[in-house]
Structure 1
Amino acid sequence: MRDSLVGRYNIDALWLDATEPENDDLLDRKVCNGKYPGEMFRNAYPLIVNKAVYEGFRRDIDNKRAMLFTRSAFPGIQRYGVATWSGDVGNDWETLRRQIVAGLGISVCGLPWWTYDAGGFFRPSNQYTDKNYHERFLRWLQTSVYLPLMRVHGYMSNTEFWNYGEDVMRISRNALSLRYSLLPYIYSCAADVTFRGGTIMRPLVMDFATDTTALSLKYQYMFGRSLLVTPVLEPEINQMCVYLPETEGGWYDFRDNSYASNNGWYETGVSIENIPAFVRAGSIIPLSTELTTTSSLSGADFEIRIFNDADGEFCLYEDNGNNYDYESGLFSEIKMEWNNKKRVFTIFDKSGKFGNRREGRNIKVILISKNGISEREILYDGYKTVVKF
């Protein structure tokens, strides 16, 4: 495999399907040179399989970051560059609801990289013309914008957006564009996972442990520490009631930057164009502009959205994105801070060994408050920059 596939074709990731193993393949078999019954290793089998592939990848492929995608997982598997997904699921509303619960459960088990087949693996035979399915597909896809990995996959399906008509294609492309714009935020959250044991898909108990109402909710969750995701999980609605946990300064609607509420139950409008998501006051969200590939993420121009009414901080992380040089310190961090009382935003000196410190980057800084939006444009050259509003 090393010589005929991975090395020859410069493969970036490996999809290890059926690592359960499938069809009771360990039943009544001996493993480890006939020493142990196979059933003893059934649950841990995916861990051992992925460990072997990861270690072989790192040994034989020169300084290329391993990415393994596996249908089954076991605690500890995150050490081996592994992401998992929920398997071959249906496409109905109840199945979508169950995905959220499953993903949050996986996250609190210490496995941060999880996703699902957006649109369902098993789909209706008339999927390209079924308007009811189109609505479900879009809600699956829009929710996946706020998952650790975003992907579309389906059994015996041509899943390209254009197969579903102009409306689905337009809305799907908007969802994909939103995902790309969030990449600086997502990649920094990924660094938090690696270096500080963080979690990207976060059940509300992680951030609002004393809020009993928040703890009772199964389908709302945090994406990183700033974004509250409220998936649309039923058809043909134009309003939904969401819960905004108490937090200093309240919450802003991420869709249009309007101020939503301080805390409690909140009635919000719903359209087919997107799902509601909310931002905690004090959040600093870096967003890319016109990004269409992950390879151009590091060093690209971007905008920073500051959500007023509370102090905040954020650490933007960057590295090569495709190798293990970061293990030798070849990465950079740019710490940012918002002082709400003084209305001062500070970007500190760039730290680390990655990138050209003196290479200027155009940054649009946007302050979002209850009374409107203020903008500043700066050229950041890697040294401390202070922006006053």
Structure 2
Amino acid sequence: MKFTHGIWEDREHTTIHNAVEVASCSETATGGIRALCATRHVEHRGNTLNRATITLKVDAVAPGIISCSATHFRGTVSHEPRFELFPDADAHKKTQEEVAPKVTHNAGANTSTLSSHDLAATLDKNPKGFRLAFSNSSGTTGDALTAVGFHGLQYIVGPPSQSVPSPLDASTAIADPYYRRPASHGNKPYMSVSLDLQVGELVYGLGERFGPLTKNGQEIDLWNEDAGTCTLYTYKNIPFYWTNRGYGVFFDHSDVVSLEVQAERLAKVQASVQGEEIRWTVIHGPTPKEILRRYSDLTGHPPLPPAWSFGLYLSTSFITDYDEDTVNQQLDGMASRGIPVSVLHFDCFWMRAYTWTSFTFDPVNFPNPKDFLGRLHQRGVKVCVWINPYIAQESEVFEEGMEHGYLIKRLDGSVWQGDNWQAGMAVVDFTNPEAVKWYQGHLVKLLDLGVDSFKTDFGERIPWEDVRYHNGMDPRAGHNYYSLLYNRAVYDAIAGRRGAGEAALFARSATAGGQRMPVHWGGDCESTWPGMSQSLRGGLSLGLSGFGFWSHDIGGFIAEGARADLSPDPDIYKRWVQWGLLSSHSRLHGSHTYRVPWLVDDEASEVLAKFARLKNALMPYIFAQAVDCHRNGLPMLRAMVVEFPDDRTCHGLDEQYMFGDSLLVAPIFNARGTCEYYVPAGTWRGLLDGRERVGPRWVKEEFDNFHLPLLVREGRAILVGPPERPDYDWSAQLSKVVVGSAAAGSVIEVPVPSASKIGEFDGFVRVTVPSGGQGSHEVERTGSGNRPEVLVLGVDSHL
């Protein structure tokens, strides 16, 4: 949100109080700094009157993590829901013991410095000299990271006419048939903090955003919205960014945070919230991986999804007409074409029309669901069903939800209802513990029926005006937070019934902490070449925001105009299949049409079979990478900058990615089959063609529909197993260890994931490269599994 017009003028009827100098400073009981900041220079006692102050607190909360808050009025009662920070209590207790915050005072410079391991925050207390500077204290000179300086900390009074950010306005206008915001007659308080950006500094993160990977120059309101992947809005807004200068910033607000990333002042990231306090946390790296690990310590690490969830999901699609026969025919068709299916997903119409969510299979199309789901399990197929947090008026459970107060209410006590999506639908109030139990009870019945997982769709179209929650949560501040409550209720229901190791969602909405309930997918993408690239950018951006596991609708969800009832363009479908099966999670899903390949063309079946089987074969590598993501807060699908932060060319790349730390993937975004991609330093080998590419350089090549750039990093080896399914005993069924380029005499050690002790490793495969280019590669195996054969990549030896 912008409060100025250039550097000379404030917006009309807007009053800005800048922190100008420190009036007093003290150490807190927790070992931090508390400073009373004057908003004008105090030359004499009279200057202390009739002017606002800002109270600044700075605390070390973990090694390399410093939290800050700036408050105007402390007596305001806030009903903003707060994120759970450091959810792993045992790990946080250990890190707390390592913090040892230290405050030092430099009388000559008139500064106070709080140090937390390798991060320092220095407060300038000189008259007219307010500045809070963050630096890397592990360096010999204390490398500057960022600072809150001149006009950097503000209390602002905005006029009644101060515009509401457009996403918020749209939420009410779209969802509510009656309520319209009355004219406001009172001024509005805001708090704002601006953090400096240096020359060449690039900003990443802020959730699953489908535009450019770097956020410089963008105006962003962090407000979850159901608007597709071809717009600036997003389903997953995360109040966290990091930069290529080695630090990240987390805004501890569930309420909407408005950011101007070099969009108001060109050397700053400005963040503002409506209210009397703003809270932010600076996280030191210095590497991207270390920033993401520490951010995950702060907000939660992504747990490991079950092994079966990494296989191919086949969806019934959205408004298609399907029943038991349709599902069986499609599964038979996939099997006859050698395409392994891991999960069968039932989209909305497994329930009767007008009843979503009723938790009941349509008795006409599925007369005996328990037996039917049992037969699917006999095929070795898991079952996922679609749900949302809405209860239609025609649903069998609507009356019960209304009678017991399980639904969000209007201020007059009536149930909030709307017609946008389901006629007369209400919204479950997950702040009510009894409503959570009620909703989970219906899910448990489905689990007992044979359902294995839930697609938790929606969670963004949540009313925020003229409504009240059971626990008094501020509806505006709770709008994004609702996604946490919703997904947590469903995730816990699965974990409680099946065990944490079997819990997996397919979730669309999220905010900070949502990574603790995987998996997430990208939402409604267009079946176009730009739509494909937008999906990739969204996944990369979400991965840079602390989320480990992500998927998308292979082939695209929606087609343009008159093409809505047609299958995807064959070229788009086959190219999307390639990198769709080189994502952490892979789902075929559409809107009007099925996504089975034989409806596209004959070759599509062959392409899908090849890449579905390839992914299953790569599961020993994939799951080992998943364990690393779980432990260190890393994304499976990671932007090049994460692995190559010292290569400036990699900093803005968003049309290629690393799949884990050893495989480079460059999707093809055109019908010609040409791909221009960047190869970082080293000698890389094609996993599918064995050819050598030497970087750093740009490469332009042409590929048929069975190939794309899939390169093995120098000095790495890839473990391979059988291709039939993803959830096999990886340690016992290793078939190959695929070796790319490696220095003569070097040793490559690859961890083998355990299938019985999930999250642990069953020894290593150790490959010794012959010296001087003579002899054969030697393979050793530790642990209990078998010793695989070695495959050295070359033009005549590849997968």
Using the size of structure 1 for normalisation, the TM-score is 0.82
1:238-277 correspondence to structure 2 within 5 Å = 239-247=674-682, 250-277=683-710
The residue aligned with 2:488 is 51
1:170-189 correspondence to structure 2 within 5 Å = 170-189=606-625
The residue aligned with 1:15 is 455
- 1:254–1:186 CA distance, 2 compared to 1 (3 A): same
Letter in 2 for 1:295: D
Letter in 1 for 2:483: P
The residue aligned with 2:167 is none
1:40 aligns with 2:469: no
Could you say what secondary structure the match of 1:315 adopts?
strand
Asked whether the equivalents of residues 19 and 70 of structure 1 are also in contact (C-alpha less than 8 Å), the reply is no
Asked whether the equivalents of residues 554 and 589 of structure 2 are also in contact (C-alpha less than 8 Å), the reply is yes
The residue aligned with 2:427 is none
- 1:39–1:120 CA distance, 2 compared to 1 (3 A): same
Letter in 1 for 2:678: Y
Using the size of structure 2 for normalisation, the TM-score is 0.41
**2:550 equivalent among 102, 111, 114:** 114
1:283 aligns with 2:716: yes
**1:5 equivalent among 446, 456, 459:** 446
Gaps of 5+ in 1: 351-356, 375-389
Shift of 1:305: 0.5
C-alpha distance in structure 2 between counterparts of 1:344 and 1:273, whole Å: 29
1:129-278 correspondence to structure 2 within 5 Å = 133-237=569-673, 239-247=674-682, 250-278=683-711
C-alpha distance in structure 1 between counterparts of 2:534 and 2:443, whole Å: 38
Letter in 2 for 1:242: Y
Could you say what secondary structure the match of 1:296 adopts?
coil
The residue aligned with 1:94 is 530
Could you say what secondary structure the match of 1:37 adopts?
coil
Shift of 1:62: 5.0
- 1:367–1:62 CA distance, 2 compared to 1 (3 A): closer
Could you say what secondary structure the match of 1:32 adopts?
coil
Aligned length: 346
Letter in 2 for 1:275: L
Asked whether the equivalents of residues 189 and 198 of structure 1 are also in contact (C-alpha less than 8 Å), the reply is no
Q: Which has the higher helix share?
A: 1
Letter in 2 for 1:67: A
Listed one character per residue, the Cα deviations across residues 127-151 of structure 1 (whole Å, up to 9, x for unaligned) are: 34x7xx1101111111112211111
The residue aligned with 1:314 is 750
Shift of 1:362: 5.9
Q: State the superposition RMSD in angstroms.
A: 2.4
C-alpha distance in structure 2 between counterparts of 1:85 and 1:161, whole Å: 21
Listed one character per residue, the Cα deviations across residues 45-90 of structure 1 (whole Å, up to 9, x for unaligned) are: 111211222233333445652111111111212223x111111111
Letter in 1 for 2:791: I
1:349 aligns with 2:782: yes
- 1:121–1:277 CA distance, 2 compared to 1 (3 A): same
- 1:295–1:274 CA distance, 2 compared to 1 (3 A): same
Asked whether the equivalents of residues 97 and 219 of structure 1 are also in contact (C-alpha less than 8 Å), the reply is yes
C-alpha distance in structure 2 between counterparts of 1:78 and 1:345, whole Å: 40
Shift of 1:253: 1.5
C-alpha distance in structure 2 between counterparts of 1:70 and 1:40, whole Å: 21
Letter in 1 for 2:763: I
C-alpha distance in structure 2 between counterparts of 1:369 and 1:172, whole Å: 24
Asked whether the equivalents of residues 547 and 634 of structure 2 are also in contact (C-alpha less than 8 Å), the reply is no
The residue aligned with 1:74 is 511
Shift of 1:3: 4.4
C-alpha distance in structure 1 between counterparts of 2:691 and 2:649, whole Å: 24
C-alpha distance in structure 1 between counterparts of 2:553 and 2:705, whole Å: 20
Bigger Rg, which one: 2
Asked whether the equivalents of residues 7 and 61 of structure 1 are also in contact (C-alpha less than 8 Å), the reply is no
C-alpha distance in structure 2 between counterparts of 1:36 and 1:308, whole Å: 57
Shift of 1:263: 2.6
Asked whether the equivalents of residues 28 and 39 of structure 1 are also in contact (C-alpha less than 8 Å), the reply is no
Letter in 2 for 1:336: V
The residue aligned with 2:466 is 28
Letter in 2 for 1:197: G
Listed one character per residue, the Cα deviations across residues 232-273 of structure 1 (whole Å, up to 9, x for unaligned) are: 112224x432210113xx111222112222431123232222
- 1:64–1:313 CA distance, 2 compared to 1 (3 A): closer
Asked whether the equivalents of residues 334 and 347 of structure 1 are also in contact (C-alpha less than 8 Å), the reply is no
Shift of 1:27: 3.2
Shift of 1:346: 4.5
Letter in 2 for 1:57: I
Could you say what secondary structure the match of 1:278 adopts?
strand
Letter in 2 for 1:246: A
The residue aligned with 2:541 is 105
Listed one character per residue, the Cα deviations across residues 336-373 of structure 1 (whole Å, up to 9, x for unaligned) are: 334446475443421xxxxxx3xx63622112368x75
- 1:181–1:37 CA distance, 2 compared to 1 (3 A): same
Gaps of 5+ in 2: 1-441
Letter in 1 for 2:595: T
The residue aligned with 1:294 is 726
Could you say what secondary structure the match of 1:294 adopts?
coil
Asked whether the equivalents of residues 192 and 199 of structure 1 are also in contact (C-alpha less than 8 Å), the reply is no
C-alpha distance in structure 2 between counterparts of 1:68 and 1:295, whole Å: 17
Letter in 2 for 1:335: F
C-alpha distance in structure 1 between counterparts of 2:484 and 2:444, whole Å: 24
Shift of 1:188: 1.1
- 1:63–1:136 CA distance, 2 compared to 1 (3 A): closer
Could you say what secondary structure the match of 2:766 adopts?
strand
Letter in 2 for 1:202: R
C-alpha distance in structure 2 between counterparts of 1:344 and 1:255, whole Å: 20
1:337 aligns with 2:766: yes
Letter in 2 for 1:36: M
C-alpha distance in structure 2 between counterparts of 1:265 and 1:62, whole Å: 47
Report percent identity of matched pairs. 23
The residue aligned with 2:791 is 366
Letter in 1 for 2:469: V
- 1:28–1:73 CA distance, 2 compared to 1 (3 A): same
C-alpha distance in structure 1 between counterparts of 2:741 and 2:550, whole Å: 32
- 1:8–1:373 CA distance, 2 compared to 1 (3 A): closer
Shift of 1:197: 3.2
Shift of 1:119: 0.8
